Structure 1
Amino acid sequence: MLASTAVSLGSLGSQLLNSPSHNPTKPFLLPLNKPLLKSPNSITSSSFLKSRTSVRTAVAAVDSSDAAVQAGGEGGSKSYHFVVANAKFMLDEEEHFQELMSERLRLYGERNMEQDFWLVIEPKFLDKFPNITKRLKRPAVALVSTNGPWITFMKLRLDRVLQDSFETHTLEEALASSRIDIEFEKPVKWTAPYAKYKYGWWEPFLPSKTSNV
């Protein structure tokens, strides 16, 4: 039995060697019925480098897009985004607004980031938005920022505010306001489980005097 098997294999080898398509410089590969499947961990170094290059390219594209947004529009103008509501709601009634603002200011301080958000009392840019002003009780307060996505987040968080954006050439124009004194009546009885916000908590978020026209 073993002898006949050896003879058969020997005959097969001779036929393969004498085949016209045989190339002695290349290894002979037997045909496979199914393709070889690579292990999920068998990633070549070239494939890995290509994937890293693609990731870097994608990140670079996102960074450049963000830079373009921050750079502003044509002619040196810059986009400013805002949410606005009456002063009573923004500064005296909304339960979470003061905490959100203080937390963001603290974060910017820890990361040494330049402040890009402000509270503007009776902003002059509202004259450009008659559809908004006709829905507002006055005086009004706007939260203005160059960070559009964050303003959208604040719109969803505060809910009862109006949102829009505009372009202007200078920060002074964007934050120009008709500064007025605002006062809120103290509630006869305070029943909330937390202390009422102190009057004037919004002062650190107002534009500096040099930012007012």
Structure 2
Amino acid sequence: MSAVATLGQACWAAAAVKSKPTTAISQTHIRNPKPKSLSLPLSANSSCNHFFSFPPKTTLKSSSSSSSSVRTSVAAVDSDQLSSSDSADKEKPSRYYFVVANAKFMLDDEEHFQEQLCERLRYYGEKNKEQDFWLVIEPKFLDKFPNITKRLGRPAVALVSTNGPWITFMKLRLDRVLAESFEAASLEEALASNPTKIEFEKPQKWVAPYSKYESGWWEPFLPPGSKEEVKA
């Protein structure tokens, strides 16, 4: 019985000795807690930048500035390309096609010519299309074609259009006309003319079963602003 008691006392003593350091460690842990710097706000802990390896602010700013610079450069290049493209489109001349003959043939003798123009103007009106053909009396662009002017009776009249295939058709239809094309920077330049007075004598004898077209029928086909310059 005494042996059992002695053994129990020895076990209890050993347990007490074993638990004492733990108590001491716990007390030491309580008395000496870890530095409070980890519990402080991020801005108050001077070692946070090093601990979390944040990149320096200057690096971030430099990167942003570099990216912005690249975007600005690209935008500048694109803007220059667009500007040059727009200016090239504006400066690119347009091509105009024409048939030309003396005014007597075009406006007085060839009545089919008047019918063709009136029918086309009516068609454009029905389709709500913008007119792209004009009659030009004594056009200034003829100075560019000495080979034509030396074969041409004056005053001359030209049918001018931006529609090349239609001008080709009119050349075949009218037959006794000359055809060519040229480039001009603007419609005003292409249709520029020299003021000329047009007069046709009335035939003494008219044998056709229909009335002759009245003089001045061509005015709806003249370029804007030129009707006042031409007197029939």
TM range (shorter): 0.5 to 0.7
Match of 1:136 in 2: 152
Match of 1:209 in 2: 225
Shift of 1:92: 0.2
Q: Which of 101, 114, 117 is matched with 1:85 structurally?
A: 101
Match of 1:151 in 2: 167
Match of 1:10 in 2: none
Distance (whole Å) between structure 1 residues aligned to residue 163 and residue 91 of structure 2: 20
Shift of 1:74: 9.6
Deviations 1:156-210 (A, max 9, x none): 0000000000001100000000021100011000012221111000000000118
Which amino acid letter does the alignment assign opposite residue 153 of structure 2?
K
Number of residue equivalences: 140
Q: Greater shift after overlay, 139-148 or 178-187?
A: 178-187
Q: Structure 1 stretches (4+) deviating beyond 4 angstroms?
A: none
Identity %: 75
The normalised TM-score by structure 2 is 0.58
The 1:124–1:196 alpha-carbon spacing in structure 2 relative to 1, beyond 3 Å, is: same
Shift of 1:155: 0.3
Deviations 1:124-144 (A, max 9, x none): 000000000000110000000
The 1:124–1:211 alpha-carbon spacing in structure 2 relative to 1, beyond 3 Å, is: farther
Q: Gaps (5+ residues) in structure 2?
A: 1-88
The 1:202–1:210 alpha-carbon spacing in structure 2 relative to 1, beyond 3 Å, is: closer
Deviations 1:93-146 (A, max 9, x none): 002011100000000000000000000000000000000000011000000000
Secondary structure, counterpart of 2:111 in structure 1? coil
Match of 1:164 in 2: 180
Q: Which of 125, 136, 149 is matched with 1:109 structurally?
A: 125
Aligned positions of 1:67-78 closer than 5 A:
75-78=91-94
Which one has a larger percent helix, Structure 1 or Structure 2? 2
Which amino acid letter does the alignment assign opposite residue 111 of structure 2?
E
**Alpha carbons 1:172, 1:210 under 8 Å: kept:** no
Secondary structure, counterpart of 1:108 in structure 2? helix
Which amino acid letter does the alignment assign opposite residue 196 of structure 1?
K
**Alpha carbons 2:219, 2:227 under 8 Å: kept:** no
Match of 2:215 in 1: 199
Secondary structure, counterpart of 1:209 in structure 2? coil
**Alpha carbons 1:176, 1:211 under 8 Å: kept:** no
The 1:211–1:81 alpha-carbon spacing in structure 2 relative to 1, beyond 3 Å, is: farther
Larger radius of gyration: 2
Q: Gaps (5+ residues) in structure 1?
A: 1-72
Match of 2:75 in 1: none
Match of 1:174 in 2: 190
The 1:155–1:208 alpha-carbon spacing in structure 2 relative to 1, beyond 3 Å, is: same
Distance (whole Å) between structure 2 residues aligned to residue 75 and residue 183 of structure 1: 39
